[in-house]
Structure 1
Amino acid sequence: MKLLSALTIGLGLFSTTVFAANDVVGIWETVEGKSHVEISKCQTDKYCGKITWLKEPNNDKGQPKTDINNQDVKLRERKILGIELLSGLEKVGANEWDDGDIYNPEDGNTYSSEMSLLDDNTLEVKGCVLFICKTQVWKRIK
């Protein structure tokens, strides 16, 4: 009986470790190293990501970059650093998340989003309008 209990606990720890190794939670470097995005669970079953670092955090006047391209005029003064870039992504498969949104501060638009973990250190992120998607590959920051 003790052996069975120990085996059950050991398998439980092993499966947790395997899941954690394949989890999307962490800090990711976006294309061309422009920014770092920290992805975390933001609700019971949803994932979000916010910008935690910018390669070029300041504008040409030396001030922190703001969300000047946002479609909502009221949000144009908010700082890019700290913006929630990803929102509402739901885990739909072993290494897949869907039904979320991604905000692009470069054009001020929000797109439907999905992402797939290609391996422990490579994340494919898609932003889509209807059936037209743009795909980026992000690398995990260790």
Structure 2
Amino acid sequence: MKESALSLLLAAAGVSAFAQATPEGLWRSIDDDTNKPKAEIRIVANGSGVLTGKVEKALIESKEPLCTACTDERKDKPKLGMEIIRGAKKAASEAVWEGGNILDPENGKTYALKMTPIEDGKKLQIRGYIGPFYRTQIWQRIE
């Protein structure tokens, strides 16, 4: 009886640790200029494992609440509630999600995306690429 209870506890701990090692969840982005929390973004997977992320809460009041710089169907739409991550999928060989894109609603630019959970899933490295150039942010998981 003790062995099966211990096995169940260890299995549950493993599932919990695995769940935290994914980009799915609620994240706090940090402003590049002020280093202060900027927004909360919720990342979810659809039925086929493709990730999307939406701005759930603004933590810094934006000078412009609409994405006036966007060039696609998000143009002039509210940044709050906006889908900024699209199409990311888990890479076959590593704990990395890529292949999608991320929108910076402040400048309207869309970047190729690579997301890597770090520090046991407590943080998420977000890297946006345009050609050989990239910008990296570290987001913090909200428990």
TM-score, length basis structure 2: 0.80
Which residue matches 2:29?
Answer: 30
Q: CA deviation at 1:53?
A: 0.7
Instruction: Tell me the SS of whatever aligns to 2:128.
Output: strand
CA 1:15–1:56: 2 relative to 1, 3 Å: closer
1:24-103 mapped onto 2 (5 Å cutoff): 24-32=23-31, 33-57=37-61, 59=63, 65-72=65-72, 75-92=74-91, 93-103=93-103
Alpha-carbon distance in 1 for matches of 2:142, 2:2:
39
Alpha-carbon distance in 2 for matches of 1:100, 1:76:
19
Alpha-carbon distance in 1 for matches of 2:123, 2:13:
22
Q: CA deviation at 1:71?
A: 1.7
Alpha-carbon distance in 1 for matches of 2:116, 2:78:
28
- Bigger radius of gyration, 1 or 2? 1
More helix by share: 1
Alpha-carbon distance in 2 for matches of 1:22, 1:104:
24
- Percent identical among aligned pairs is 23
Instruction: Tell me the SS of whatever aligns to 1:134.
Output: strand
Which residue matches 1:134?
Answer: 135
Instruction: Tell me the SS of whatever aligns to 2:46.
Output: strand
Gaps of 5+ in 2: 32-36
Gaps of 5+ in 1: none
Alpha-carbon distance in 1 for matches of 2:39, 2:26:
10
Counterpart amino acid of residue 132 in structure 1: F
Alpha-carbon distance in 1 for matches of 2:17, 2:127:
25
Residues 56-82 of structure 1: CA deviation (Å, up to 9, x unaligned): 34547xxxx11111124x643311001
For the 8 Å contact 1:95–1:118, the answer to whether it is kept is no
Q: CA deviation at 1:3?
A: 10
TM-score, length basis structure 1: 0.80
Alpha-carbon distance in 2 for matches of 1:58, 1:103:
16
1:113 counterpart = 2:133: no
Q: How many residue pairs are counted as aligned between the two chains? A: 135
Alpha-carbon distance in 2 for matches of 1:138, 1:14:
24
